[in-house]
Structure formats: structure tokens, C-alpha cells
Amino acid sequence: MLTFFFANNYKSLVNFRVEFDRTNVLIGRNGSGKSAVFGLLASLQQFILGRGRTTDYFSTNTLTRWMKSSVQTFEFGVKVNDKEYVYHLELEYNLSTAQCFVALESVVCSGKKLFSSAKGEVSYLANDATQSSMLRVDRAFSGISYVANGIQDNEVLVFMNEVAKIVFCSINPRKMQDHVSSEAWLPDLEFSNIGSVFSFLAQVNPDAITHLRDQLRQIDPSLERLKIKMGYGNWKSLIAEYRYHDYPVEFCLSELSEGERMVIALYILLFGYLREGHTVFIDEPDNYVSLREIQPWCIAVADACVDGGQCIAISHHPEVIDYFGNDNGIWISRLNSGESEIKKKPDSEQFKDFMKLSELITGGFLDENE
């Protein structure tokens, strides 16, 4: 699970640090920095996993406008069992060419440096975890991805595997595809590959699909099941089968409403990932869904996180804010000077008997710029 995150000289994030629990909801006005946290962590994940160059995820436009430094610093922690792994990255920009390179990168666990890279010189613990090995790497890429390709059993791989398990989602029902080209282990950012994810889970975790079906039938008893259907030329599609007038009727996913597609995606995340111990960082899970639909999902998410999952959400929805915000809300405010900061938990004790947290926010009783 994610334990903390630090960023400096990235957009409005200046010496910005946030601590995470099993469940959190990021609260704040538009432009406060919530999406910057989400997007930056998602970019760092892809970069660490070797899925692109520095310039694929970072640019001079992400430097904080009022700072003179050309170095960005990022850090986050992930906890695996009882061990915390801390990742550190410093990017250095050449402002004349708009290029950026890795100046420093490291992974530390319990005070032991497992991996470090300084200006292309990489050192890491070998497979027996006692001797260091050295190599030179292209500074436009993460050195960890080079190391991971050459080791078989190392704590760096434990860190990499945990990072790979984090699911970042900003679900867009309009981008969801019926067609299943191949199985996918994780959802993509907009969950456009929902059919491929469902096909994968149906093979490796059929219990999750059973729980998904049972939950969706509680929401709509006419829904019989979701299934992958073969068509001509090995064409596969995600199909929703309903029963109307005691007769089975099939619909492609694209024929369902956006709200129905959103609900299906939310419960795939719940049963396929949160229940399996993954971290899910989701941007506005309440989009397209009704109050009666988001409330039971929040309750089920809380239960799944007690059992080992982690859910971090960005939300403006009153139900999500009131359910998670009182105990696990992270209040992000944009100061008049431009920086984002974590505000202390709003003191709502004097209002709690007659006003909800969302009502305090709506009524302006909690001034973000104090």
C-alpha cells in the first residue's frame, strides 16, 4: 500500500507531503492540487516500470512557475507486509533544450539502500542481497527497469511488484470498448479495456466474477450475468445478459447507459482488485452514478480495505465526502501564494450534531485560505 508521497517543484506542489491510510478521500476546490497528486503518481508508476522516457511524463511546463530551480524532487513509500520501501527521484532539466534527465534515483528499505543511480551510474544489490553490482544506463529512463530485467530474486523486485499492483483510474464510460483483443491484468487509466480486464479475471479469479454478478443482480435483478461472447473470426465481446419476460436478451456493453457501465467498472475494481489487496487510486468514482448506487459501494470499499486493500479517492460528492471524509479526509488547499498544502482536519465538532462535512463545505463554514 502507499504510505506517503512527496513532491517539490511540480506545478503547485512545493515541498508537498501527504500521508495515506487504508482509505482516504482527497477533498478540495478545483485547482487545489488533487489531480496533480493523482497524475504525478500515475506518471511515476509508468516511468518506474520502464514504460517511457522522462520526457514522456515530465516537461518544463510541470516546473513550478515561481521557483527558479531546474530540479524536481519526488518521493513515495510503499508498504509490503511489515517493510516500507521508499523511492526517491530527482529530475534535472536543461531549460535551453527542454530535456530532463535522472540526476538521482534510489530505493531504500529499512535503512538499507537496495538501488541507487546518480547521473547514469547505477549500483544495486545482487541476487544474494550481499554484493553490489554496477552498470551504466541511459539517464532518460528509470534505472530500476534496467536492474529488474537482470535479477531474479531481489527486494528491488518486491518493490517493483508492489508498484505495479497500484491501479490508477479516472473511469470514462464513453471510452469503454466492447471488443476484447487480449486479456489485461490491470485496468488502463480510463478503464477503456474493461472487456480485456473482465476476460482476464474470469480466467484467473472466477470468484471475483461470481461476487460481481451477485452484486450487480442486487442492483438490477433483471441482469443475469456478464460474459465474454465469441463472434466471427475469433472476435470476442463483453456482453450483458438480461432476462425480460422470461426470455434472455443480450446487450453489448456500449448499449448500456453510462451509469450502468460506471457501476460495473466500480465493482470490478472492488472484487477484482481491492478485495485482492491492491491499492486503487480513483478519480471521482461518483461520476455518472446515483446516490443509491455510490453509498453501498463506499460501504463495500471500507470493508475491503479492512481486509488488506487500499482505496484513495478524489471526490466532490457529498456521500463520498461524508462517508470517508470525517475520519480519513485529506483536505488540500491552494494558498493565495500559489502552493498546494494539506490543511489540518477541519474542526467541525461544533457543527457535527446538525451539519454534515459536505454541508459545511457547501456552506462555506470551512475557509480553505485561512
pLDDT mean over 196-208 = 94
Measure the CA–CA gap between 346 and 364, rounded to whole angstroms: 12
Measure the CA–CA gap between 23 and 302, rounded to whole angstroms: 7
Question: What is the reported pLDDT for 74?
Answer: 98
pLDDT mean over 325-353 = 78
If DSSP codes are grouped into helix, strand and coil, which group holds residue 172? coil
Of the candidates 264, 334, 314, 322, the one whose C-alpha atom is nearest the C-alpha of residue 291 is 322
pLDDT mean over 67-96 = 94
Angle between helices 155-164 and 34-48 (to 10 degrees): 130
pLDDT mean over 170-181 = 91
Least-confidence region, from 66-75, 186-195, 345-354: 345-354
Residue 370, pLDDT above cutoff 50: no
Pairing mode, if any, of strands 16-19 and 99-109? unpaired
pLDDT mean over 308-312 = 94
Residue 183, pLDDT above cutoff 90: no
Question: What is the reported pLDDT for 144?
Answer: 86
Count of beta carbons in the 10 Å neighbourhood of residue 320: 24
Least-confidence region, from 54-63, 138-147, 267-276: 138-147
pLDDT mean over 106-111 = 90
pLDDT mean over 163-187 = 92
Question: What is the reported pLDDT for 329?
Answer: 87
Of the candidates 67, 26, 4, the one whose C-alpha atom is nearest the C-alpha of residue 339 is 67
Higher confidence at residue 308 or residue 40?
40
pLDDT mean over 181-202 = 93
Mean of the per-residue pLDDT values of the chain: 88
Least-confidence region, from 114-123, 276-285, 348-357: 348-357
pLDDT mean over 326-331 = 85
Higher confidence at residue 126 or residue 186?
186
Residue 224, pLDDT above cutoff 70: yes
Measure the CA–CA gap between 38 and 5, rounded to whole angstroms: 11
- C-alpha cell, 32: 487545489
pLDDT category at 133 given cuts 50, 70, 90 is low
Q: What percent of the chain has pLDDT over 70?
A: 89
Residue type, 211: H
Residue 43, pLDDT above cutoff 50: yes
Question: What is the reported pLDDT for 154?
Answer: 74
